[in-house]
Structure 1
Amino acid sequence: MKLMKINALAGLLLTVTCAAALAEEVKIGMITTLSGPAGYLGQDVRDGFMLAIAEEGGMLGGVKVEVLVEDDGLKPENGRAIAERFLERDEVEIMTGVIFSNISPVVAPLTLRAGRFYITPNSAPSQFAGKNCHENYFAVAWQNDSLHESAGLNASAQGYGNAFVLAPNYQAGKDAIAGFKRYFEGEIVGEVYTQLGQTDYAAEIARIRAADPEMVFQFLPGGMGINFAKQYDQAGMNEEVPMVLAAPSSDINILRAVGESMVGVSSSSHWNHDLDNDANRAFLAGFEAEYGRSPTVYASQGYDTAKLIASALMKTGGKVTADMDGFRAALKAADFDSVRGAFAFNTNNHPIQNWYARVVVERDGEFVNETTGVIAENHADAYATECALN
């Protein structure tokens, strides 16, 4: 595992007039997935996060920060070892970055028991949203189920009477199918759980064909989604059974890799490139200028996570564990301009936000998601009422 210690002070002016900048440097630990077919998810979270720091000349909220980044390799045992090292040796005050929900149930409890803040830019499994919610746990992207609840709403709005659903056999996959089924009004004619990291979907595609559904919902992010979509098209299934997806199964990298056969595929997301707000326009321009590529949804979430942290550090003058109540209240206020537009935390520290319908189109030789409307306004997850926080 390669450790990248990114000192975010590079290029900082020697004379700093902002009082917050006089605070002690804040250490942030980022455990994320940087290698393998899913590596681009973590790379984009990291790059979006670091872009926000670069915009402040090496600070967040006017406070000097140091970000320690390490690859978990999609292995829980790696996540545990890195988290213990970050917490005990490096004394990070904030933990972030986790992509997959086989890692977060290991890293989050370690962080919370150590009295630090866990702020996730992606993975948000159901067990941390309800009865086991925690005052120092904040989910910036979504609660896992709600991401796929939007797909269920979208499929129902399109009038589908039944669906075949599949997802990897781990917590996020279970949350995905639970979320889709919660709001899909039709019948489920097939339900399959695949292996996490699976590459061959011939057996699953055969089962879909045999079930003869009206549509398919699949949650297969990263390389899994690329492989499935290619094989689905090669089997001639795109013309027979359309897919209705959530954002991770239709991100811009998947569209590029799969190509023309994705045109017309329907999906839902809390963010898209064409959302019309100042923060999103600045983010897109900055990301493309800094990295020479278009950001995925994961980059937008990394960026928003850093902006949230910046807003809290600004209010506390750089204090994190030295002012737990103050920093927590500042996070809860979510006083920043999200690239998604309106954003607020629910009582369980998970987002209340809009969800949008999208369709894949070809524009100027590129395949992109085009926003077609709002699926749900100010949507909250299903577990908030079980959380004792307020």
Structure 2
Amino acid sequence: MKKHLSMLAGGVAAAAFAAGAAQAESVKIGYMATFSGPPGVLGEHNRDGFQLGIEHLGGTLGDLDVEIIEADDQLKPDVGKQIIDRYLQSDRVDFVVGIIFSNVMMAVYEDVVGSETFLISTNAGPSPIAGESCSEYFFSTSWQNDQLHGAAGLQAVNDGVESAFLIAPNYQAGRDAMAGFKREFEGHGTIAGEILTQINQPDYSAEIAQIAAAGADAVFIFLPGGMGVNFVKQYASSGIDLPLYSGSTVDGTTLPAIGEEMMGGYSSPNFWAPDMDTPVNQRFMADFEERFGYIPSVYAAQGYDAAALIDSAIRAVDGDLSNKEGMRDAMRQADFESIRGDFQFGNNHFPVQDWYAGEVVSDDQGRATIALGDMVAEDFQDAYHQDCAMQW
């Protein structure tokens, strides 16, 4: 389960002192994500983006050699807790990075931040940790769960949808997904029905039958990874012709399997897509497929930004990893070149960012990919930040 990826920079940095602070020789990263089963593709994209980010920084973080200890949480909270216990007690990592699914995040969050170890989420953003349980040791380079799905609700409103049927798995992120969509959609349209399914459910025929009978004029789905592939294929063969508004369902991890069914349709609203016109993204896109052999998704983009965020924190304290206050203050400033352009954190350390509609199109090789559409939300902040006591 534990895998030492590599010392990504050659040589050993000499012990040094800067402004009276001792520079560490290396930084140790505990990288945990889901790599098992159909959802494992999310972890793969995320990890590869993080690794490319380090490579683009010269193979170091803040000029320190990097040791990554990788582990698969298997989408099991109890396994995640075992890994985190080892990271904190035996490996004594400087940062915990990754975590794809919110049920795993909820199981390990208090242990990490309670140990005063920085936790950099590259995907999971459950609502409790955005509000009263926020922590100065937590930062996200992705989103708070509700943001993504709230943007989908806003897109549906902009498109004039009057009634929507909602479907998501029954765990923290699924419940957040429905709350986020409804927060922005209700008052403009009605909810024709909603279903919480099992995680990793393979067959959605019963749910699709309920959708057909509900009389909605659109469907909102949050079914990440293989769940989304199964649903979209079954939905396409059902003959139902209602538009799908997707949260983490039609994205770069699922398009290789469902591209034909979704060509010309909607993807998840997002802050990023492969065609985003920023200098950092242009370099990222130019190198990622050559390095890893596939088109990156937003999960890879989030991992990539995490490397730059950590690099900025370590540089700010001249490599003194014991200066946690200095690293925290530096990360709050988000003084790094982000793949998405401008980057800013809210007081709860979740990004405040622009969201765009997405469309499934063909790239110059005829492959399904995502193109940015119109902006649906500018400087969009999660709804829970007002319950976070941190102010800075």
1:213 alignment partner in structure 2: 216
Aligned residues: 385
1:226 alignment partner in structure 2: 229
The alpha-carbon deviation at position 371 of structure 1 amounts to 1.4
1:284 alignment partner in structure 2: 285
**Aligned with 2:203 (options 200, 203, 216):** 200
Paired letter, 1:6: L
Deviations 1:336-375 (A, max 9, x none): 1111111100011110100001111234421121212111
Residue correspondence of structure 1 range 24-63 to structure 2 within 5 A: 24-63=25-64
Paired letter, 2:264: G
1:357 alignment partner in structure 2: 357
Select between 52-61 and 213-222 the one with higher mean Cα deviation. Answer: 52-61
1:356–1:375 contact (8 Å) kept in structure 2: yes
CA distance in 1 between counterparts of 2:42 and 2:385 reads 27
Three-state SS of the structure 2 residue aligned to 1:66 is strand
Judged with a 3 Å threshold, the aligned counterparts in structure 2 of structure 1 residues 12 and 273 are, in CA distance, closer, same or farther, namely farther
CA distance in 1 between counterparts of 2:362 and 2:287 reads 24
Deviations 1:58-114 (A, max 9, x none): 211212221111000110111000000010000012111100011001111111111
Q: Which runs of 4+ in 1 moved over 3 A?
A: 9-22
Deviations 1:34-70 (A, max 9, x none): 1100001011111111111222332112122211110
The alpha-carbon deviation at position 287 of structure 1 amounts to 1.1
1:187 alignment partner in structure 2: 190
1:312–1:327 contact (8 Å) kept in structure 2: yes
Deviations 1:199-245 (A, max 9, x none): 100000000001021000000000000000000011112xx211011
Unaligned 5+ segments in structure 2 are none
1:344–1:352 contact (8 Å) kept in structure 2: yes
CA distance in 2 between counterparts of 1:27 and 1:94 reads 7
1:8–1:53 contact (8 Å) kept in structure 2: no
Judged with a 3 Å threshold, the aligned counterparts in structure 2 of structure 1 residues 275 and 37 are, in CA distance, closer, same or farther, namely same
CA distance in 2 between counterparts of 1:112 and 1:236 reads 48
Residue correspondence of structure 1 range 245-260 to structure 2 within 5 A: 245-246=246-247, 248-260=248-260
Paired letter, 1:230: K
2:107 alignment partner in structure 1: 106
The alpha-carbon deviation at position 332 of structure 1 amounts to 0.6
CA distance in 1 between counterparts of 2:151 and 2:320 reads 37
1:173 alignment partner in structure 2: 174
1:244–1:265 contact (8 Å) kept in structure 2: no
Three-state SS of the structure 2 residue aligned to 1:372 is strand
Select between 157-166 and 358-367 the one with higher mean Cα deviation. Answer: 358-367
- TM-score, L = length of structure 2: 0.94
1:21–1:63 contact (8 Å) kept in structure 2: no
The alpha-carbon deviation at position 264 of structure 1 amounts to 2.5
